[in-house]
């Protein structure tokens, strides 16, 4: 009998081929996955910091939503937005992406996180949701005591006023805050969003938050919440309320201690980017493994042992 020996070079080549195949499958899995990014109210993609780049590096399809009468570049101060139109825009994009991708995730900052929750409450096409500084109530330490009465002049018909952003602009890092202040003076928009938010848009945001507070039990997608304990716009209670009421099987919270509301560009921005991207990647892997297992079980049915014993 001839003994066949495996040549070391051939063995290494075979091992290398297997490694390349695994890497290719890993990339294909992520290529099948899309992530919709939602900036804050009257903001822009600048707010998301390095998250878009990191997701693209992970080979995800990244969609930075621009929504009429929500995004800074598409605002009309004479129009009173309807928050349901914002949701419809996002849901429409999800449906379109699902035609070419296996799964879709949402990642939102500030009111973008709130918008993501609203969509997740009625859409079952979402794999995972990443909520960065979500807002269910404006109750942070920098919100003035009279804020609760600001709806009163609006209801009385005074609607052509704006809420101007002011120091600290949602940023704890002094140097970054200085740059943002200069950008707001020069361009009217910066990494923290617009310099001012029209009253009509705040009214729509209030309606959106009210809906989300009532609809949290309808959210079932895997959810990650990242929130600062020192958030000056939305107190930590916002994140706690979400985690206590959503029905997601996978839910995780990360508390930050060295930043304010715009956590994507503040002192702990690297942690935020890494955790957000890793959470999405893990959910992609879990989904892919689940599909593979179902395929294996479907195509490799167990034999009926009763027929074997009977024979």
Q: For 8-60, what is each residue's pLDDT tens digit? A: 554 554 555 555 545 544 544 456 899 999 999 999 999 999 999 999 999 99
* Nearest CA-CA partner of 45 in 121, 107, 133: 107
| Tens-digit pLDDT profile for residues 201-249 | 999 999 999 999 999 999 999 999 999 999 999 999 999 999 999 999 9
Residue 237 CB neighbours (<10 A): 14
Fold annotation for 32-287? Rossmann fold (3.40.50)
At 119, the pLDDT band (50, 70, 90 cuts) reads very high
pLDDT in the model for residue 159? 81
pLDDT in the model for residue 189? 60
Looking up tokens 């493994």 gives 289
| Tens-digit pLDDT profile for residues 250-304 | 999 999 999 999 999 999 999 999 999 999 999 999 988 876 555 455 554 444 4
Instruction: Quote the CA–CA distance of 263 and 63 in Å, as a whole number.
Output: 20
pLDDT in the model for residue 154? 74
Strand order in the sheet with 33-38: 61-64, 33-38, 103-109, 126-132, 222-228, 251-256
Report the sign of the C-alpha dihedral through residues 44, 248, 291, 100, in that order: negative
3-state helix, strand, coil in the chain (%, to 5): 50, 15, 35
Instruction: Quote the CA–CA distance of 214 and 182 in Å, as a whole number.
Output: 39
Torsion, Cα of 215, 217, 220, 225 (10° steps)? 80
Please check the confidence at residue 107 and state whether its pLDDT lies above 60.
yes
Burial category of 34 from C-beta neighbours within 10 Å (exposed 0-12, middle 13-18, buried 19 and up): buried
């Amino acid at each position: 009998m001839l003994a066949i020996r495996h040549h070391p070079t051939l063995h290494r080549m075979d091992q290398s081929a297997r490694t390349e195949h695994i890497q290719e499958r890993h990339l294909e899995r992520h290529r099948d996955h899309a992530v919709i990014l939602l900036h804050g109210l009257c903001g822009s993609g600048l707010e998301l910091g390095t998250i878009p780049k990191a997701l693209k590096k992970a080979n995800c399809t990244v969609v930075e939503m621009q929504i009429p009468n929500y995004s800074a570049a598409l605002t009309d101060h004479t129009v009173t937005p309807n928050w349901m139109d914002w949701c419809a825009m996002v849901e429409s994009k999800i449906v379109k992406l699902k035609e070419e991708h296996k799964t879709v995730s949402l990642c939102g900052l500030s009111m973008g996180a709130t918008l993501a929750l609203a969509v997740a409450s009625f859409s079952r096409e979402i794999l995972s949701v990443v909520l960065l500084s979500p807002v269910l109530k404006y109750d942070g330490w920098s919100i003035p005591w009279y804020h609760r009465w600001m709806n009163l002049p609006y209801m009385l018909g005074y609607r052509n006023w704006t809420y101007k952003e002011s120091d600290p602009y949602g940023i704890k890092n002094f140097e970054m805050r200085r740059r943002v202040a200069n950008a707001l003076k020069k361009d009217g928009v910066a990494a923290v969003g617009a310099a001012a938010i029209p009253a009509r848009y705040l009214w729509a945001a209030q309606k959106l938050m009210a809906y989300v507070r009532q609809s949290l039990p309808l959210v079932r997608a895997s959810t990650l919440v990242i929130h600062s304990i020192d958030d000056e716009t939305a107190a930590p209670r916002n994140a706690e309320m979400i985690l206590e009421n959503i029905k997601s099987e996978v839910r995780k919270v990360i508390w930050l201690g060295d930043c304010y509301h715009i956590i994507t560009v503040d002192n702990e921005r690297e942690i935020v980017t890494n955790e957000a991207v890793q959470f999405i990647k893990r959910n992609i892997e879990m989904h892919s493994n689940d599909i593979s297992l179902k395929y294996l079980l479907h195509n490799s049915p167990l034999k009926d042992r009763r027929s074997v014993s009977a024979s």
